[in-house]
């Protein structure tokens, strides 16, 4: 007979939803061992299935909506909870050594993340999310009324609205170019950007991976184009950390932002702002200020001076980086592509219209498709309520299908089967 603890742990992995805060939830949080070394080479499916157990998402739930927020796995949650327990004791040795303060340089959190992203610690500020980091750029970048920012027509509200606010308040101009739908090669995007640049363009701000379509924009070429014209380049990389391998300094951009809570599975409340060098920092005013904001020797750290901070989330961030590194980002990216390509091809076979790039190199773990006359909201509700499958999209018929590495082909087949069943039920051929 199962004791209470093993019953609850079994219940969680068998797909029973457990109320958070309950003893059952705590039991389900017990550590589970990582896949054995060598399993990837001997049995890749078993390797990913073993990693799936690190996620609290019940077994019967298929999560194809990782693009909104990721689910933090056990090692990340454990780091956060342990860190709360430790810091809340307030027993640190030094009288000034009070671990849940902000104000410090926090190299122990900035450096692992900077290393992971191909940047130097001095270039990296960890903020609370991508929206905040984008707001730092739009609010703080040195511009006069009439100066232009060039953005795409596919920016997330958290990329576009900070500029709209600045325009409304201070008279800068937000100019938009239309992204090709769907881009077949990088030059199509570069040409659109080039054609939209004017003598008043001061900064180009675009997503590195489009939230709407999953298209990977040619960041390195865009940064080079901007530089050749004396324009600052800034990227919203909300979907980048943990989805694809990246080397920020190789891209050669001036500014870059992102979220760690999506594809890296770090705790909610983690985002970042990368600033290339002192010259760029001198052109970006702080938005939130306390002591230290005006000390240039602190480099990117001065953008982290926000007052008291939530250090346990950063301990969770370090655990998320360690998990990704223990798997290997190249391996993760390959898995993302494999699952998304499989799903994308299956939707094409069903007559869907692709909204992402037809070039597999220009997309990764987001396969956006248009499936008229299916109502995405009706399908989304039906899939979640009846089949525990999460999808999300846009009106009226667009589905943004995300494939985090812990999904299996069988999970995707379950979605496809129910997608077919829904269409049949609605009399759609």
Ligand X SMILES: Cc1ncc(COP(=O)(O)O)c(C=O)c1O
Binding site for ligand X (CB under 6 A): 68, 129-131, 156, 158-159, 207, 211, 236, 238-239, 259, 271
Task: State in angstroms the smallest separation of the CB of 272 from ligand X.
Answer: 10
Task: State in angstroms the smallest separation of the CB of 316 from ligand X.
Answer: 15
Residue of 172, 169, 179 whose CA lies nearest to 202: 172
Residue with token string 């494999």? 338
Let me know how many helices (H) and strands (E) the chain has, helices first.
Answer: 16, 13
Task: State in angstroms the smallest separation of the CB of 395 from ligand X.
Answer: 17
Length of the chain: 429
Nearer to ligand X, 29 or 150 (CB): 150
Beta-carbon count within 10 A of 95 CB: 6
Residue with token string 């939230």? 211
Beta carbons of 280 and 254 less than 8 angstroms apart: yes
Nearer to ligand X, 48 or 274 (CB): 274
Task: State in angstroms the smallest separation of the CB of 268 from ligand X.
Answer: 8
Task: State in angstroms the smallest separation of the CB of 211 from ligand X.
Answer: 3
Q: Residue 370 has which token pair?
A: 């248009």
User: E-assigned strands of 182-221?
Assistant: 201-207
Report the alpha-carbon distance of residue 41 to residue 36 in Å, rounded.
11
Nearer to ligand X, 238 or 362 (CB): 238
Beta-carbon count within 10 A of 252 CB: 17
Q: Residue 26: in which H helix or E strand, if any?
A: helix 23-28
Task: State in angstroms the smallest separation of the CB of 131 from ligand X.
Answer: 3
């Amino acid at each position: 007979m199962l004791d209470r603890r093993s019953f609850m742990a079994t219940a969680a992995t068998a797909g029973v939803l457990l109320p958070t805060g309950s003893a059952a939830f705590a039991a389900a949080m017990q550590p589970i061992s990582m896949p054995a070394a060598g399993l990837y080479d001997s049995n890749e499916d078993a390797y990913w299935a073993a990693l799936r157990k690190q996620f609290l998402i019940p077994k019967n739930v298929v999560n194809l909506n990782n693009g909104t927020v990721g689910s933090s796995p056990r090692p990340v949650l454990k780091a956060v909870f342990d860190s709360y327990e430790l810091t809340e004791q307030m027993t640190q040795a030094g009288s000034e050594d009070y671990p849940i303060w902000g104000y410090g340089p926090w190299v122990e959190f900035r450096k692992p993340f900077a290393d992971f992203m191909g940047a130097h610690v001095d270039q990296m500020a960890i903020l609370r999310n991508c929206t905040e980091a984008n707001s730092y750029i739009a609010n703080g970048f040195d511009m006069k009324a009439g100066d232009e920012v060039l953005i795409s027509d596919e920016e997330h509200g958290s990329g576009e609205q900070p500029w709209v606010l600045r325009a409304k308040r201070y008279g800068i101009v937000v100019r938009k170019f239309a992204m090709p739908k769907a881009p077949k090669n990088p030059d199509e995007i570069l040409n659109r950007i080039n054609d939209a640049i004017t003598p008043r363009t001061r900064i180009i701000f675009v997503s590195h991976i489009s939230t709407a379509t999953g298209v990977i924009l040619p960041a390195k070429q865009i940064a080079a184009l901007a530089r050749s014209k004396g324009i600052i380049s800034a990227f919203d990389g909300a979907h980048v950390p943990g989805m694809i391998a990246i080397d920020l300094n190789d891209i050669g951009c001036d500014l870059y932002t992102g979220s760690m809570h999506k594809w890296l599975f770090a705790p909610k409340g983690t985002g970042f702002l990368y600033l290339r060098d002192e010259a760029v920092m001198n052109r970006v005013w702080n938005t939130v200020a306390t002591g230290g904001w005006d000390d240039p020797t602190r480099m990117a750290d001065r953008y982290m001076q926000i007052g008291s901070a939530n250090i346990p989330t950063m301990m969770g961030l370090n655990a998320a980086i360690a998990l990704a590194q223990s798997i290997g980002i190249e391996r993760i990216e390959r898995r993302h592509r494999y699952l998304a390509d499989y799903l994308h091809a299956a939707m094409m076979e069903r007559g869907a219209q692709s909204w992402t790039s037809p070039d597999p190199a220009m997309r990764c773990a987001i396969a956006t498709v248009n499936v008229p006359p299916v109502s995405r909201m009706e399908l989304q509700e039906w899939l979640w309520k009846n089949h525990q499958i999460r999808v999300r999209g846009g009106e009226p018929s667009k589905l943004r299908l995300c494939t985090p590495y812990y999904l299996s082909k069988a999970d995707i087949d379950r979605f496809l089967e129910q997608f077919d069943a829904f269409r049949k039920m609605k009399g759609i051929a």
